[in-house]
Chains A and B, each alone.
Chain A
Amino acid sequence: MEPTSAILRRFYTDVWEHLHYDRIADYFQPDLTGNILIPERAVDPEEVREWMQILDALVRDKEVTFLSSIDDGSWCSAFLKISCVSRATDKPVTAYQQILCRQTDGLLSESYPQFDLLGFF
């Protein structure tokens, strides 16, 4: 089994850094059984795409660094730094995100991102 952190790293490179939004669905296969940690916070691929488009309207040149990540079975927890440039001011912006996710057969079946929006704004 590929470590969940490796799948996550590919996702951030492909989608966040290289803007391949058509590939979002290649990384997510939401668990629809309802047998998940926090059903009301489950992320679906369409929301990921919307979130990317909102971010892209505000910033450009996103670069994602994994500051720390741990794998435990099918679960992964990661702490990420996102460096980018504000479209409004052309100044560098740094934001942090932590994400907890689980894979099922190589695809992310549940994911709980926490983006430091307050720091970002």
Chain B
Amino acid sequence: MPHKLKTLETYFQELWVKGNLDALDTLFAPGARTLGIMGDTEFDAEELKELVAMVRPLLGPITVRTPKMMEQNEWLSALVEIKSHAIDNNNPVHVFNHVMARFDGECMIEIYSNLDALTFFEQLGLLPDNAMAVMLGGTRLR
């Protein structure tokens, strides 16, 4: 398997599926930043580990599939399908994550990640089911 694909698969399997946070140290280059997980806020490796540690307990066992991966020069992009269930209400969780990553050798140094966060929080029961429709209509969610 080409090394960029392997690095991204290891990232999802080790961090998200297994919760092995230390694996990130071998996948992220020093100074690597990730953007897109929370709006304009950039995350470094340590902050990302904290995020994974916060989110994983909300979910049951996680499975990850990558329906599409593509690469050009030092870039890799993947569409990632994530399935699980919410610990709180047992609702199925099924979301997609679009990742674009720039590599420095074997490691990722610049990562843009866009998870369908609104759907994710609706499925977890943390937002009302119709949150998106309400907000698209211009109404403030209360």
Measured CB to CB, the closest approach of chain B to A61, in angstroms, equals 17
- B116's nearest neighbour on chain A, judged by CB, is A114
Could you tell me if A100 and B71 are in contact, using CB atoms closer than 8 angstroms?
no
Encoded as 1 (CB less than 8 Å from any B CB) or 0, chain A from 62 to 87 comes to 00000110111101010100000000
- Across the interface, A71 reaches (CB within 8 A) one of B72, B79, B121, B138, namely B72
Q: Does A20 contact B (CB under 8 A)?
A: no
A-B contact count (CB 8 A): 85
User: Which residues in A have their C-beta under 8 angstroms from that of B72?
Assistant: 70-72
Could you tell me if A67 and B68 are in contact, using CB atoms closer than 8 angstroms?
no
Could you tell me if A75 and B70 are in contact, using CB atoms closer than 8 angstroms?
yes
- A57's nearest neighbour on chain B, judged by CB, is B138
Q: How many A residues face the partner with a CB closer than 8 A?
A: 30
Could you tell me if B68 and A37 are in contact, using CB atoms closer than 8 angstroms?
yes
Are A121 and B96 CB-contacts (below 8 A) given A77-B70, A98-B36? no
Give A residues with C-beta under 8 Å from B: 37-38, 41, 54, 57-58, 67-68, 70-73, 75, 77, 79, 88, 94, 96-100, 112, 114-119, 121
